[in-house]
């Protein structure tokens, strides 16, 4: 299972984070997280985030 991140926690990597329910059920809602910035609050208690699409960086 993917690691879960709580609202207000700093995003470990930039990318798309999906909001999931207390038991891990997917909501279909995503937010963009920026590495080192805090993840936004969720509309319902007990929800958290999982990283579903990390940002791909091009070198050069």
Which residues is 33 bridged to in the sheet? Answer: 15
Q: How many separate domains does the chain show?
A: 1
9 domain residue, yes or no:
yes
pLDDT of residue 46: 95
Provide mean pLDDT across the span 25-39: 95
E strands present in 1-60: 4-5, 15-20, 26-33, 48-54
- What range does the domain containing 37 cover? 4-54
pLDDT of residue 58 exceeding 80, the answer is no
Q: Are β-strands 48-54 and 4-5 bridged in parallel, bridged antiparallel, or unpaired?
A: antiparallel
For residues 1 and 34, the model is more confident at 34
pLDDT of residue 16: 97
pLDDT of residue 60 exceeding 80, the answer is no
59 domain residue, yes or no:
no
């Amino acid at each position: 299972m993917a690691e879960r991140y709580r609202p207000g926690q700093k995003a470990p990597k930039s990318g798309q984070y999906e909001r999931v329910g207390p038991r891990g059920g997917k909501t279909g809602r995503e937010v963009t997280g920026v590495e080192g910035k805090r993840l936004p609050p969720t509309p319902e208690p007990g929800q958290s985030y999982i990283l579903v699409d990390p940002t791909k960086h091009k070198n050069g």
